[in-house]
Amino acid sequence: MRVKRLLLLFTIFSLLIGLVGCSTSQSKKEGEEKSKDQAQQIVLKAGIGSSLQNSSHGKGLVKFQEIVEKESNGRIRLQIFPDGQLGNDKSMMEALQMGTLDITIPSTAPIANFTKSFMVFDLPYLFPNEEVADRVLDGPAGQDILKTLEDVGMVGLAYWENGFRNITNSKRPINSIDDLKGLKIRTMQNPIHLETFKAWGANPVPMPFNEVFTALEQKVIDGQENPNTLIYDAGFYEAQKYLTLSRHFYTPFVFMISKKTWDKLSPADQELLKKAAVEAGKYQRQINRELSEKYLEEMKKKGIAVNELSTEEKQKFIEKSRTIYAKFENEIGKDRLKKVLDEIAKVQ
Ligand code: TK8
């Protein structure tokens, strides 16, 4: 009897050891899985100059965030810093070079501070409309230019749309090129934009985006030029009386990631981010075009006087712009300029 009881106790004891051992190895395995998974947790910091609520810039970045977090099952997450909290386009690109910021989406114009290859897109009256712009930017010429960012510590993933730029000012309606004479117009920090407004008779003032509103309010400058969505999002219309639909430049945004960040990612994660940037970009372009019309009507209701340049007057702007193409073709690269102009001619 005593032997039986001892055998029973021994059986129960060895079963308990087995169970504890099993759960330990199970929890150890789960722990390893978890720590491996946590080890792969990626948090990307992204900074832009516009708001999240009103701008297509911000809405596009939120769409990118949704796609990435869904496709990675939450393993890759974004921390978004809008409204120029982390600086302006130029300083945020410098942060990408240093690896202290992972993602930013600047206009092409300030990229000229790092590489000249995007300057072709800053030429006045280059693209006739958004459709041609999309096809050239997403085609061989645009994609080749995107690749040049890797030489300066950034990786370009996709073109998004800032859009066709219009002129606002607080002095007078701009019905002809002569009306620009002497007006202090803020431009982006880009030599082509500066020289173009000089050629049109204005007095251009290069300035980072996040300083423009105060400068308009304090009358340090008379006007600025931006697409409708940005004029509305940044509240510039509140400090301006006139909006002239000149559509003188088409500005792409460039979705870019720090090369230091990019090189640490697996090929699969690189592919995931690239696809998300392209998909979110198509959404952002569409939203931008809808908001451009919507915000134009909103600004008219709020009292800004809107006028379009007549075909004849626009021709004067275009004629004056030809000197700019000649002046900058060497800096842009004659082959690069020819390739873009040939692609435009092909897709028209
Ligand atoms: C926003 C800027 C802005 C640009 C400018 O970060 O600076 O006027 O049009 O969109 O990139």
Q: 170, 194 in Cβ contact below 8 A?
A: no
Tokens matching residue 82: 């809008």
What's the mean pLDDT in 238-251? 97
Round the average pLDDT of the chain to a whole number and report it.
92
C-alpha of residue 311 to centroid of ligand 1, in Å? 27
Mean pLDDT of 139-164: 97
Q: How far apart are CA 281 and CA 343, in angstroms?
A: 21
pLDDT band at 102 (very low <50, low <70, confident <90, very high): very high
Q: Ligand 1 centre from 70 Cα, in Å?
A: 29
Q: Is the pLDDT of residue 31 over 90?
A: no
Q: Is the CB of 280 under 6 A from ligand 1?
A: no
Residue 226, ligand 1, Cβ within 6 A: yes
Q: Tell me: the pLDDT tens digits for 65-101?
A: 999 999 999 999 999 999 999 999 999 999 999 999 9
Q: Which range is least confidently modeled, 5-19, 191-205, 207-221, 251-265?
A: 5-19
pLDDT > 70? residue 24: no
Q: How far apart are CA 216 and CA 214, in angstroms?
A: 5
So what's the pLDDT on residue 257?
Answer: 98
From ligand 1's centre to the CA of 5, what distance in Å?
84
Pairwise pLDDT comparison (41 vs 27), residue with the higher score = 41
**pLDDT for residue 23 is more than 70:** no
Q: Are strands 184-187 and 154-164 parallel, antiparallel or unpaired?
A: unpaired
Q: Alpha carbon of 151 to those of 148, 230, 265, 286, 342: distances in Å?
A: 6, 30, 18, 31, 25
The pLDDT of residue 37: 47
Question: At residue 306, does pLDDT exceed 90?
Answer: yes
Instruction: Quickly count: other Cβ atoms within 10 Å of residue 96's Cβ.
Output: 27
Q: Please determine, for residue 38, whether its predicted confidence score (pLDDT) is greater than 70.
A: no
Q: Which residues pair with 78 in a beta bridge?
A: 44
Identify the weakest region by mean pLDDT among 5-19, 32-46, 187-201, 268-282: 5-19
Whether residue 50 has its Cβ less than 6 Å from ligand 1: yes
Which residue's CA is the closest to the ligand 1 atom numbered 9? Answer: 226
Domain annotation for the chain: domains and CATH numbers: 41-347 (3.40.190.170)
Give 209 Cα–ligand 1 centroid separation in angstroms: 5
- For residue 37, the CA-to-ligand 1 centroid distance in Å is 38
Section 114-128 average pLDDT: 96
Nearest atom in ligand 1 to 84's CA: 6
**Percent of the chain clearing pLDDT 90 (strictly above):** 87
Q: How confident is the model at residue 2 (pLDDT cuts 50, 70, 90)?
A: low
Query: Contact, 292 vs 302, CB < 8 A?
Result: no
49's CB contacts (< 8 A; 6+ apart) are 57, 83, 84, 88, 89, 92, 106, 209, 210
Residue with CA nearest ligand 1 atom 1: 49
Q: What is the CA radius of gyration of the chain?
A: 27
Residue 22 has pLDDT above 80, yes or no: no
pLDDT reading at 120 higher than 60: yes
Which comes out higher in pLDDT, residue 268 or 1?
A: 268
State the average pLDDT over residues 20-30: 55
Strands 250-258 and 154-164: antiparallel
Q: Which pTM value belongs to this model?
A: 0.88
pLDDT in tens, 328-346: 999 999 999 999 999 999 9
Token pair in block for residue 56: 């297509």
214 in Cβ contact with 282 (< 8 Å):
no
Ligand 1, atom 6: closest residue by C-alpha? 49
